[in-house]
Each structure stands twice: as C-alpha cells, then as structure tokens.
C-alpha cells in the first residue's frame, strides 16, 4: 500500500469518526431542546397552581400588599381552617366540609352504579346479541351528544314526579342517567375484542347470564373499568350545572358551595380562603389522576386492537 492510499484511508476514517460524533451530538441536543420546551410548558401550566398553593398559606395582608408570587413570610393554615369549617356560605358559616361530604356521597354511588350498568349493557350488546341490538346501541350512544342544557327542564319534571327533587338521590339519578351512555360505549368497545369462545364454553358448562358476567367478564374488565371510573368521577365531581339546578341548600355539591363562597364574600375579598377552597375542591380528582392516571391511556388502548 503506497502513501497515497494510506492518506485516503486516513481521510475516510476521520470523516467517519466526525460523522459518528455529529450523530451522537445531534440527538443529545434535540433531546435537551425537547426537555427545555416541555419544562417551559410545565412551568406555564403549573404557575396558577403554584400561586394558589402559596397564597393559601399567607395571611390576607400579605396578598393585598401585592406579593402574589412570593413565598409566604408568615406561614399560616388559618385560610384552610376557615375554608373547611368557618367560611360563610350563603347565610350560614358552615365552611366547605358538609358540601365536600355531599360530593363524596353523590360521586361514589353515581360512579359505581353507572359503571356496573355500563358493564352489563356492554356485555349484553356484544355477547348476547339480539335483533335490534345495533339500533339500541345507537340510541344509547346518541345520549353522549345531548348537551346538559337540553335535559334540565325534562329532568326537573321527572325528579319532581319521583319525589326526589332537591335531594342527593335525585342528583345521583341525574348523573347515572347522563353517564350511562358513556360507560356503555366504553365497555361495549372493550367487550367487542373479548373472546366470544370463552362465553360460549361457559354456556355449554351451564353457566348462567350473571355467572358469566360476574366470574368471567367483570374480572377481566379492570383496564376499561379504571378508564370509566376516572372519567365519570372527574365529570361528576367537577359538575356545576346539575348541582346548581337540581340541589337544595342541604344537598349542594362542592362546586356549588365553592361558587357561593366566592360570591357571598363582602368587602375585602378573602383570596387566601378562596384559594384554599379551590384546592380542596380539586384535591379528590387530583389524587385520582395521580394514583390511577397511568392506567387511563393503557385502558383506552386495551380494547382498540382486536385479536
């Protein structure tokens, strides 16, 4: 090998090494840029939450003096205590505690009933098909597209005739009726990819309708049940329109009470109490997403591919 060939080989080697170095630098730079952009978006979206949390631990004079973003100089939980049990809501100084309990008593039964009914509907519409099943599913699905405002007057009439207007059972009934379309959609799509052979084999072995449901279908429905529970709980807990329309003072949910807390403040606005109350209202849904949020997308995708 002469000198000219050696020089060409060395030049090619240098070019290859330089290309590898460039390729190794570019992904690192791209990754850093992506993380930087995502970090800026996180700061942008979390800044309101930071302001709420920080100001909920401040005495009111610190807030009114203009220090909204700064950390508290005098840390205090008096705003939390006032929001929970001492704040004036309407004509009484009851705080948000009884309304928080109302929301729990409303959301938990409504989510449970709606999820179970949706699971039964999805089971029937996929594994016990009958003439007209597609039409019935289409009519149920149509309920997903009916706006809240369209059912206020008919629902108020129904609740009055049933004798449960202005009560927690009445609000639970409203949320079950409105949410059953969505839960049926979730479970129907999930059960459509479930092996029908297992149901047929259980029938041959003498298993009844509900035996198959409780022992085969429901135990395998964990992913979609999590999706349904998270979606229903979030919508029911955060609902304001139904709570304001169909509840009495003793049955008002947390969202209505929080609105009343802000609206009934006279004179100087107690921003620290309002911030603490808003965090208390958002805390359950935040906990639900922290605990089970990672299963949400997994559950949505679990029934999307058949086979």
Share of the chain above pLDDT 70, in %: 85
What value does the mean pLDDT take over residues 162-173? 93
Rounded to the nearest 5 degrees, what angle is found at the Cα of 45, between the Cα atoms of 44 and 49?
110
**pLDDT tens, 4-53?**
454 544 545 555 555 555 555 557 778 888 888 999 999 898 898 899 99
The residues, ordered by sequence, that sit 6+ positions from 270 with a Cβ below 8 Å of its Cβ are 60, 79, 82, 87
Write down the mean pLDDT value for the chain. Answer: 84
Which of these ranges, 97-101, 114-118, 193-197, 211-215, has the smallest mean pLDDT? Answer: 193-197
Closest CA to 138 of 121, 115, 155, 150: 121
Query: Can you tell me the distance from the alpha carbon of 244 to that of 240, in angstroms, rounded to the nearest whole number?
Result: 6
**Domain assignments of the chain as residue spans, ordered by start:** 3-56, 81-302
The whole-number pLDDT of residue 8 equals: 44
Closest CA to 225 of 122, 104, 103: 122
**pLDDT tens, 258-302?**
988 887 766 677 888 899 999 999 999 988 888 877 776 666 666
281, HSE (Cβ side, Cα atoms, 13 Å): 28
Within its chain, how far is the Cα of 241 from the centroid?
A: 17
CATH class of the domain whose range is 81-302: mainly alpha
Query: Can you tell me the distance from the alpha carbon of 205 to that of 189, in angstroms, rounded to the nearest whole number?
Result: 26
The whole-number pLDDT of residue 304 equals: 52
Closest CA to 242 of 102, 137, 113: 102
The whole-number pLDDT of residue 297 equals: 67
The reply to whether the predicted model has a pTM over 0.85 is no
**pLDDT tens, 57-95?**
998 888 888 777 888 888 888 889 988 987 777 666 678
The whole-number pLDDT of residue 111 equals: 96
The whole-number pLDDT of residue 157 equals: 93
- Termini Cα distance of the chain: 61
Residues 248, 249, 253, 257: is their CA dihedral positive or negative? positive
What value does the mean pLDDT take over residues 246-261? 89
């Amino acid at each position: 090998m002469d000198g000219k060939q050696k020089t060409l080989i060395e030049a090619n080697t240098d070019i290859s090494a330089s290309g590898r170095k460039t390729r190794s630098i570019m992904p690192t730079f791209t990754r850093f840029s992506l993380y930087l952009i995502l970090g800026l978006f996180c700061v942008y979206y979390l800044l309101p939450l930071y302001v709420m949390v920080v100001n909920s631990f401040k005495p009111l004079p610190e807030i009114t003096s203009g220090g909204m973003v700064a950390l508290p100089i005098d840390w205090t939980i008096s705003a939390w205590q006032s929001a929970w049990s001492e704040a004036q809501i309407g004509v009484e100084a009851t705080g948000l505690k009884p309304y928080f309990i109302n929301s729990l008593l409303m959301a938990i039964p409504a989510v449970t009933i709606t999820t179970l009914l949706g699971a039964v509907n999805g089971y029937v519409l996929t594994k016990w098909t009958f003439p007209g099943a597609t039409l019935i599913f289409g009519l149920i699905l149509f309920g997903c597209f009916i706006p809240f405002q369209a059912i206020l007057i008919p629902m108020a009439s129904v609740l009055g005739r049933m004798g449960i207007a202005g009560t927690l059972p009445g609000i639970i009934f409203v949320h079950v009726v409105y949410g059953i379309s969505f839960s049926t959609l979730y479970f129907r799509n999930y059960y459509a990819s479930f092996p029908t052979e297992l149901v047929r084999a259980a029938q041959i072995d003498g298993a009844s309708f509900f035996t198959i449901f409780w022992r085969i279908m429901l135990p395998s429905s964990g992913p979609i049940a999590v999706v349904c529970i998270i979606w229903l709980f979030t919508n029911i807990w955060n609902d304001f329109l139904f709570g304001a329309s169909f509840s009495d003072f003793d049955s008002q949910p947390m969202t209505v009470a929080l609105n009343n807390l802000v609206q009934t403040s006279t004179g100087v606005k107690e921003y620290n109490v309002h911030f603490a109350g808003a965090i208390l209202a958002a805390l359950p849904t935040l906990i639900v997403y922290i605990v089970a949020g990672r299963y949400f997308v997994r559950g949505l995708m679990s029934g999307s591919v058949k086979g």
